[in-house]
Every structure is written in structure tokens, then in C-alpha cells.
Amino acid sequence: MIFLKKIEIDSLEDLRKAVQTAIELEHSTIPPYLTANFTLFNTGNDEISNLIGSVVGEEMLHLSISSNLLTAIGGHPILNKKGFVPTYPGPLPGGVDTGLTVPLEKFSKELIQKVFMSIEEQEDPIDIKAMALEATESMTIGQFYEKIKKSLTALETEAHNQGKTIFTGDPSHQMTYEKFFPAKLLFPIKDLTSALNGIDIIVDQGEGTSTDPFVNPTDSTVEEPAHYYRFQEIVKGKKLVSDPSAPNKYSYSGDPIPFNPAKIPNMWPNPKMENYPPDSLAYTNSKFFNYNYTCLLNSLHLAFNGQPEQINEAMGLMFAIRLYALKLLSNPDPNHPGFMAGPSFEFVTDEDLNAVEKAALESQTS
């Protein structure tokens, strides 16, 4: 389970900082999930890939909802700076030290169980004993979002009593994208009701409830378990279904979810662009991957800061990073015989790229 540092939200500025942390947290899960999913491409493990892909899509939705929320309360989402991207392997943004290190690795059931399920685990998952809170200075992700909900309500009530509102953001900056996200899931946030509705969607899709592992139909377009239970389906190798004979009325006894590890590329974990020789295919493809990933974050930043049409550019760049990720996974890692290269998800600038290549040139001539 992920624990976040306990926060106090006493002002509108505190609230804006908390929502920015939510944006960073939602984004931080996407690179590890995508990396594992890229290694499943063309391996015959389509059902597992579809399950992980569905979670990735919803994490992107959660990032979008959080960004719309921050814009609605007069803030400015920041997605295009180095500090926005976590260092992998490492902890997730806003977290306390619970020993969970999040890596960029090839798919394995162990990765799903030990890392991905830990990220998505709620305070009291059904039929699974949760880690007890050991300190009052921490909170679960669900408690974090509940804190944001309570603060939104309190601050808006206070503003309303003064004839004002905290929802002062420019409505034209709200981003929707019905080609990818149905209007009932991604909508303009303009008041307290729509803000609380958006947070409920995030929490329901990620955690479910203490009594029902399935997402509320109002918060989804298909019948599906919350993220934690979708990942557990992969580990168990069976779909989660209603089961009146089970203690909690659900069991992993549905259709099988097959797994064949034979074709999964043996990616070296936690790759870094600077570690590849500049004259190698691995470096070239890593450079293009990170360049397109950085452009993707720039496009998303613009999309949530007054240029919502930039979401079309962002979606195109998603296909570009998949292209270069697959190129990397088809090339040997020049530093580790028997392993393949992989995507590193680094925010890069022209200065970064020039520095790496200059350092390589100097090492060759010294």
C-alpha cells in the first residue's frame, strides 16, 4: 500500500498544492504500467495487455480530472518540468517511506503483485489484510482524496457565505476529449458538485468500495473491477466474478487469463539514456523516445492551460512513444549481454541531449 505524507489544507493555496500533487501522483503510475505493457506487445498475452491498458487509460483520465479541478479553482497545472517526472526506480510523489520502490521493468506476475497491486491497494481491500498505518503522519491515497473533498466543501462554503466562490478558473480552459473519454467521465469542472463527482470517479475506479470490488456503473462505461482487483485477476489467472457461495460473494473463478512468458523481451530494468553508447541504436531510439515523451508532457501542459485542442497532439505523441519503445525492446542492450534495451521515461531538453553527446565525445578523445 502507498502512504502519502499527511497534509493540512487550510487555504485555497494549500488546496491547489494538494491537487498538483494529485496530478503528479496520477501521472507517476503511467510509465511503469506502460513499460510492462509495452513488453507484452506481440507476445500473445493480449488479455493481460488489455487489462493493464485499461488501467493506463483510466490513470490518464484521473490526471485529466485532477488537472481540470486545479484549473477550475484558479490554479495552473504543471506537467512540463523535470521535477514532474519521478526517478525510476524510486518512490512515488508525495509518498512516505514504506519500502515500496517503483521500477521500470518488463512484465511479470511478481511485478504486478508486489508493485502494481501495492500502488492501487486501498485501506481495506476485500478479502485481503491491509498494512496497518504505523504513523499518524501518513495517509492512504483514498484518505488523501477524501481530504481534498472535505477541503473543497469547506472552502467553497466559506466563500459562498461571503457571496463568492473558489471556482474562479476560466471555463474555456477545461479540457474534454470525447474521442477517448466519454462525457460522463471527463467533463468541465465548474462548481462543487462537478468537482466532487470527478474525485469520486478517480477513487471508485482506482479502489472500488469496502464491499464491492467492481466500479460503480455511473463511474464507468463497462462492467469492470477497480484497478487493484484487475491486477489481482492477472496474478490469479482468472476473472473476478460474483459468487454467492464465497464469503464476500466474489471469487476469482471466472474465465482463465492465460499467461505465456516465452516471447516477453528480456528488458534490462530501469534503463537510462545516458548509459547507452551514443553511437548505438539503443541510444538513438532512447533519445527519440524521451524527446517524444517530453513533447507529450509539453502538449498536455498546454492542453490544461488554455489550449485544450493540444490534446490531439498529445494523443498522436502517445503512438510515437509506443513506436520507439518497441524499437528499443527489439534492440539488444549494448551494456548487458542477453538483455534488451527499454524506455526510460526521462524529461529531456536540448541541453540535456547535447550534454550527453558532448560527454561521450570527450570520453572517446581522452
pLDDT in tens, 110-122: 999 999 999 988 7
Please tell me whether residues 230 and 282 are part of one structural domain.
Answer: no
pLDDT > 70 fraction of the chain, expressed in percent and rounded: 89
- pLDDT of the residue at 134: 43
**Chosen domain end from 261, 285, 313:** 261
In a domain, 251, yes or no: yes
Q: Is the pLDDT of residue 133 over 50?
A: no
Tell me the three state secondary structure of residue 364: helix
Task: Decide: 1 and 124 in contact? Cβ < 8 Å.
Answer: no
> What confidence tier does 193 reach under pLDDT thresholds 50, 70, 90?
very high
- pLDDT of the residue at 50: 97
In a domain, 267, yes or no: no
The two beta strands, 3-5 and 241-242, are unpaired
Per residue in 290-323, pLDDT tens?
999 999 999 999 999 999 999 999 999 999 999 9
Task: Decide: 334 and 277 in contact? Cβ < 8 Å.
Answer: yes
CA distance 14 to 148: 10
Q: Is the pLDDT of residue 91 over 70?
A: yes
In a domain, 268, yes or no: no
Per residue in 258-300, pLDDT tens?
999 999 999 999 999 999 999 999 999 999 999 999 999 999 9
Rg (CA), the chain: 21
Please tell me whether residues 182 and 283 are part of one structural domain.
Answer: no
- pLDDT of the residue at 132: 37
Average pLDDT, the chain: 90
- pLDDT of the residue at 128: 31
Give the pLDDT mean for 190-206. Answer: 95
Please report how the helices 46-72 and 192-207 are oriented relative to each other, as an axis angle in degrees rounded to 10.
160
**Chosen domain end from 261, 294, 328:** 261
In a domain, 309, yes or no: yes
In a domain, 343, yes or no: yes
Q: Is the pLDDT of residue 31 over 80?
A: yes
- pLDDT of the residue at 247: 83
> What confidence tier does 130 reach under pLDDT thresholds 50, 70, 90?
very low
Q: What is the 3-state secondary structure (H, E, C) of 76-132?
A: CCCCCCHHHCCCCCECCCCECCCCCCECCCCCCHHHHHHHHHHHHCCCCCCCCCCCC
Tell which wins on pLDDT, 351 or 54: 54
Please tell me whether residues 318 and 183 are part of one structural domain.
Answer: no
pLDDT > 90 fraction of the chain, expressed in percent and rounded: 74
In a domain, 266, yes or no: no
- pLDDT of the residue at 330: 97
The CATH number for 143's domain is 1.20.1260.10
Q: What count of residues does the chain have?
A: 366
Q: Is the pLDDT of residue 150 over 70?
A: yes
In a domain, 163, yes or no: yes
Tell me the three state secondary structure of residue 86: coil
Per residue in 34-80, pLDDT tens?
999 999 999 999 999 999 999 999 999 999 999 999 999 999 999 99
pTM: 0.91
- pLDDT of the residue at 359: 62
In a domain, 31, yes or no: yes
- pLDDT of the residue at 334: 97
CA distance 37 to 280: 24
Please tell me whether residues 247 and 183 are part of one structural domain.
Answer: yes
- CA contacts within 13 A on the Cβ side of 360: 15
- pLDDT of the residue at 3: 76
Domain of residue 283 covers 273-365
CA distance 359 to 90: 26
Task: Decide: 141 and 130 in contact? Cβ < 8 Å.
Answer: no
Please tell me whether residues 106 and 138 are part of one structural domain.
Answer: yes
Please tell me whether residues 254 and 135 are part of one structural domain.
Answer: yes
Please tell me whether residues 209 and 115 are part of one structural domain.
Answer: yes
Please tell me whether residues 257 and 332 are part of one structural domain.
Answer: no
Please tell me whether residues 148 and 205 are part of one structural domain.
Answer: yes
Using CB atoms within 10 Å of the CB of residue 8, give its burial: 0 to 12 exposed, 13 to 18 middle, 19+ buried: exposed
Q: Is the pLDDT of residue 181 over 70?
A: yes
Please tell me whether residues 222 and 281 are part of one structural domain.
Answer: no
**Chosen domain end from 261, 284, 317:** 261
Please tell me whether residues 30 and 71 are part of one structural domain.
Answer: yes
> What confidence tier does 209 reach under pLDDT thresholds 50, 70, 90?
low
Scanning 140-280, the segments in alpha helix (DSSP H) are: 141-161, 192-207, 227-236
Cell of 34: 506502460
Q: How many domains does the chain have?
A: 2
CA distance 61 to 75: 19
Please tell me whether residues 168 and 55 are part of one structural domain.
Answer: yes
Q: Is the pLDDT of residue 257 over 80?
A: yes
Largest CA distance in the chain: 72
- pLDDT of the residue at 5: 80
